[in-house]
Amino acid sequence: MDHSQTEDMEDELLDRMYNMDNEPFKHLCKLILEDVESLSQIEVTQDRSFGPQIRGQVGDQLLAAEFGVHLFRHRSAVPEVAINEISSKFEDTGCQFGTLITLSEFSEDAVTRAEELDGIAVRLINGSDLTSIMIDEEVGVIKGSDGPRLDKSFWAQFDKFNNKLIPSRKVPQADSLQLLTPTLRAIYNEYREFNEMAEYLRKNSSKHITERQAHYYVTAAELVGLVKPILDPHGQSTVHGWELTEDGRQYLKKSDGDDEFVDTKYLEHAIDSLDIVKRIKDNFEEGSGLKHEDLVEIIETETTVTGTTAERRATCLGKWFWTIQGDIKRPDRSKRRYEYYPDGAMDSFFSS
């Protein structure tokens, strides 16, 4: 491959990434990580400070470690102070290692500082590193006899961000509705950190819940109206944690100490009211159902979720539909097929 052609492609990739909005850029980096590292447990976060903007897990049963990724798109070099702030935040959020990606460069002091870190291993990837990886691994790029060219189908998936999409945080990924009750109890008992919540959930369920998964359950509880963020005095962030809503307090009271309690009546209404569920309902045609693959496609099209994450979110929704059996029903747990019975059309489901 001609060296000048490679340099031209690197410049084109950098220009394209600099011109992307923040949200699609984060999803682009997530897809690069998925493709290059063959990751399946990874998602974009809503962190706007120095914490991980992408996080996930490598390994599963024998080995497992949480990682975080922070992104920079400034044209100036990343300074040493950023390494200190981000590595500290990574540790605070339960990451065992991490990567910092910039489209520009890291200062010499920043590189030295990253090499000297004691608590957490942090890898630095600059703009040249990133574009070289994309070309070598053919992520967003197709290598041909006449040189590299952009993969139009890859870049087309970011066109959806020009539309009004449901944010990824509003598409649940907490599989077990039974864990909502101990999540509420942890918040009621003023557990503020996700590592504390994860430990509480492990003690009060048969699940091995990680810090990242504890975040899923708090987000799910917020989606269905059971908790709300405690905002700072200016109402700008959730750094002070969460608190129960009135519905959350009533839900916990109804549980009467049963950590596996599920208020199906409350959750049926709350889940049927979610934006993603409304979009799914819009895709049902009279007399026909939807398959699991249809749910994945709806999530890929209607939300900011990308890559393998869409499959996991669809699986989560399928488990919710099975547990609640609201307007959208999953008649057979062994088959990932769904039927829609709007108001007043329940009898056909129960008589089938």
Q: Map out the domains of the chain as residue ranges.
A: 3-162, 169-351
Could you give the angle at the alpha carbon of 203 between the alpha carbons of 201 and 208, nearest 5°?
65
CA neighbor of 83 nearest in space, from 49, 110, 116: 110
Statement: residue 352 has pLDDT above 50? no
Q: How confident is the model over 205-221, as pLDDT tens digits?
A: 888 898 889 999 999 99
State the pTM of this model.
Answer: 0.74
Report, as an integer, the average pLDDT of 299-328. Answer: 92
CATH number among 3.10.20.740, 3.30.450.20, 3.40.1350.10, 2.60.120.650, domain 3-162: 3.40.1350.10
Statement: residue 238 has pLDDT above 80? no
Q: How confident is the model over 83-102, as pLDDT tens digits?
A: 999 999 898 888 999 999 99
Query: Tokens 């810090």 label which residue?
Result: 211
Statement: residue 348 has pLDDT above 70? no
Q: Checking phi first, is residue 5 left (phi over 0); if not, alpha (psi -120 to 50) or beta?
A: alpha
Tally Cβ neighbours within 10 Å of residue 48.
Answer: 10
pLDDT band of residue 233 (cuts 50, 70, 90) is: low
Six token digits for residue 160: 């959806």
pLDDT band of residue 14 (cuts 50, 70, 90) is: very high
Percent of the chain with pLDDT over 70: 93
Contact 283, 339 (CB under 8 A): no
Distance from C-alpha of 129 to C-alpha of 134, rounded to nearest angstrom:
9
Q: Is 12 helix (H, G, I), strand (E, B) or coil?
A: helix
Q: Residues 6 or more apart from 48 whose CB is under 8 A from it?
A: 237
pLDDT band of residue 345 (cuts 50, 70, 90) is: very low
Contact 250, 263 (CB under 8 A): no
Distance from C-alpha of 153 to C-alpha of 169, rounded to nearest angstrom:
25
Statement: residue 344 has pLDDT above 50? no
CATH 3.40.50.2300 holds for 169-351: no
Same fold, 3-162 and 169-351: no
Distance from C-alpha of 312 to C-alpha of 181, rounded to nearest angstrom:
22
Percent of the chain with pLDDT over 90: 62
Report, as an integer, the average pLDDT of 145-170. Answer: 90
From residue 259, how far is each of 8, 198, 216, 219, 223 by CA, in Å?
Answer: 59, 15, 17, 18, 20
